[in-house]
């Protein structure tokens, strides 16, 4: 007698809304890391045929990534508000909201630096201005809101380099704001933007000087970070390289009444870049140690991109204002490191997306049960 096969039940469909449930703000780091490859490469003190065209293509990719992520994060907030609120109250995730501001400003600055080659100067300035204003407003809000949440609601525990993300966002605006000075009416408008950039420079720098000793002390007294978090040590390079870049951009945009800007760029930038190189060596050694102990790929690997890119732009500015060939070659060497890190992180991320691992729910710790006799 023939037996009937059980009916096949349809597999549950994974909707777009469900796919983004665990999409956190840390994903904006992919946009930042991509945009800095374009921005730093376009101003590299080295003539390479086709380099600027390649940088324009990378900038276009960063813009596409930004638009895609903004749409995905909108779905996340619309359909998974419980998860979004949980992210805000999680001290390990909330600081990454600074990445949204930095992604907007980085892509906006890239529009003026290299995007105009493809979309024209007028459209580039318009797009760049819109993204810069939005990113700066979000960055200033995050610089206050996230530390407030960490002080009032979070149980943050020991210091982490991730704590730098909210306070470094205004520094990115300070570094890219001078690009828009020539497009404003002369006089009060230009001076207001430039002085505002100086204000954001000070805001971010002083906040960094408060957080950085906590991070360094945690490393010296608490031992190495967990393997998965070790790449976040590179985040310390962000405020160092970005502040050096900002000081150089201030000198580029300074009006005739501010002759001290160039001197400040060199006097400030050289020692800070020296400390950045020391930290790069220290963080690199810690990453190699973690890799030998089994550190696998994670989204924290994007910390190898944007912070290193800020050191590239910082070295470029110092090379321009000092005329030293050693600084030009330093910028070139750091850019090679940046491109290698970006390619590695991008390929691994693409594999994780295709396989679904990067958007899967985080593992739930097994409950601890007591033994009874």
Q: How confident is the model at residue 177 (pLDDT cuts 50, 70, 90)?
A: very high
Asked whether the predicted pLDDT for residue 54 surpasses 50, the reply is yes
So what's the pLDDT on residue 9?
Answer: 44
So what's the pLDDT on residue 369?
Answer: 43
Neighbours of 78 (CB within 10 A): 11
Asked whether the predicted pLDDT for residue 223 surpasses 80, the reply is yes
DSSP state of 155: -
**167 contact partners, CB below 8 Å, separation of at least 6:** 98, 143, 147, 203, 204, 207, 208, 211, 239
Rounded to an integer, the average pLDDT of 222-234 is 91
Q: Where are the alpha helices (DSSP H) in 160-253?
A: 164-176, 188-222, 237-253
Burial of 227: CB neighbours in 10 Å, binned 0-12, 13-18, 19+ = middle
So what's the pLDDT on residue 341?
Answer: 96
Structure tokens at 27: 């994903």
So what's the pLDDT on residue 365?
Answer: 46
Neighbours of 165 (CB within 10 A): 29
Q: Which of 109-123, 213-227, 347-361 has the weakest average pLDDT?
A: 347-361
Neighbours of 267 (CB within 10 A): 12
Asked whether the predicted pLDDT for residue 83 surpasses 50, the reply is yes
* Whether the model pTM is above 0.85: yes
Average pLDDT, the chain: 88
So what's the pLDDT on residue 65?
Answer: 95
So what's the pLDDT on residue 308?
Answer: 97
Structure tokens at 319: 């090379």
Q: Is the model more confident about 10 or about 182?
A: 182
Q: How confident is the model at residue 75 (pLDDT cuts 50, 70, 90)?
A: confident
So what's the pLDDT on residue 45?
Answer: 87
Q: Which of 187-196, 225-234, 357-366 has the weakest average pLDDT?
A: 357-366
Q: How confident is the model at residue 15 (pLDDT cuts 50, 70, 90)?
A: low
Q: DSSP characters for 18-71?
A: HHTTT--GGGHHHHHHHHHHHHHHHT-SS--TTHHHHHHHHHHHHHHHHHHHHH
DSSP state of 226: P
So what's the pLDDT on residue 195?
Answer: 92
Structure tokens at 186: 């002369």
Structure tokens at 291: 């890799």
Neighbours of 370 (CB within 10 A): 4
So what's the pLDDT on residue 16?
Answer: 59
So what's the pLDDT on residue 24?
Answer: 84
The answer to whether the beta carbons of residues 268 and 338 sit under 8 Å apart is: no
Asked whether the predicted pLDDT for residue 2 surpasses 50, the reply is no
Q: What are the distances in angstroms from CA 325 to CA 5, 36, 46, 310, 317?
A: 77, 23, 11, 19, 12
Tens digits of per-residue pLDDT, 308-345?
999 999 999 999 999 999 999 999 999 999 999 999 99
């Amino acid at each position: 007698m023939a037996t009937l096969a059980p009916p096949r039940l349809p597999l549950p469909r994974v909707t777009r809304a469900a796919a983004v449930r665990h999409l956190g703000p840390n994903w904006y780091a992919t946009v930042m890391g991509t945009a800095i490859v374009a921005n730093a490469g376009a101003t590299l003190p080295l003539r390479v045929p086709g380099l600027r065209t390649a940088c324009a293509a990378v900038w276009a990719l960063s813009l596409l990534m930004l638009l895609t992520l903004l749409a995905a994060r909108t779905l996340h907030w619309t359909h998974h508000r419980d998860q979004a609120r949980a992210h805000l109250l999680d001290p390990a995730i909330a600081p990454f909201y600074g990445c949204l501001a930095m992604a907007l400003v980085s892509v906006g600055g890239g529009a003026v630096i290299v995007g105009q080659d493809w979309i024209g100067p007028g459209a580039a300035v318009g797009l760049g201005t819109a993204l810069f204003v939005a990113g700066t407003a979000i960055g200033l809000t995050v610089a206050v809101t996230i530390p407030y949440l960490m002080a009032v609601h979070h149980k943050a525990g020991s210091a982490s380099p991730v704590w730098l993300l909210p306070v470094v966002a205004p520094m990115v605006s300070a570094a890219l704001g001078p690009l828009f000075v020539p497009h404003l009416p002369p006089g009060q408008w230009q001076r207001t933007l430039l002085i505002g950039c100086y204000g954001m420079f000070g805001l971010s720098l002083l906040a960094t000087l408060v957080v950085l000793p906590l991070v360094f002390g945690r490393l010296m007294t608490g031992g190495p970070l967990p393997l998965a978090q070790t790449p976040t040590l590179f985040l310390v390079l962000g405020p160092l390289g970005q502040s050096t870049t900002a000081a150089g951009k201030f000198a580029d945009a300074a009006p005739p009444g501010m002759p001290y800007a160039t001197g400040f760029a060199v006097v400030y930038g050289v020692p800070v870049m020296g400390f950045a190189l020391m930290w790069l060596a220290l963080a690199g050694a810690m990453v190699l140690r973690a890799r030998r102990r089994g550190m696998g790929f994670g989204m924290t690997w994007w910390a190898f991109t944007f912070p290193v890119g800020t050191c590239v732009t910082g070295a470029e500015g110092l090379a321009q204002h000092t005329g030293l060939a050693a600084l030009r070659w330093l910028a070139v060497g750091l850019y090679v490191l940046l491109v290698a890190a970006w390619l590695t992180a991008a390929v691994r991320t693409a594999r994780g997306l295709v396989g679904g691992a990067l958007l899967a729910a985080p593992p739930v710790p097994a409950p601890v049960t007591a033994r009874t006799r």
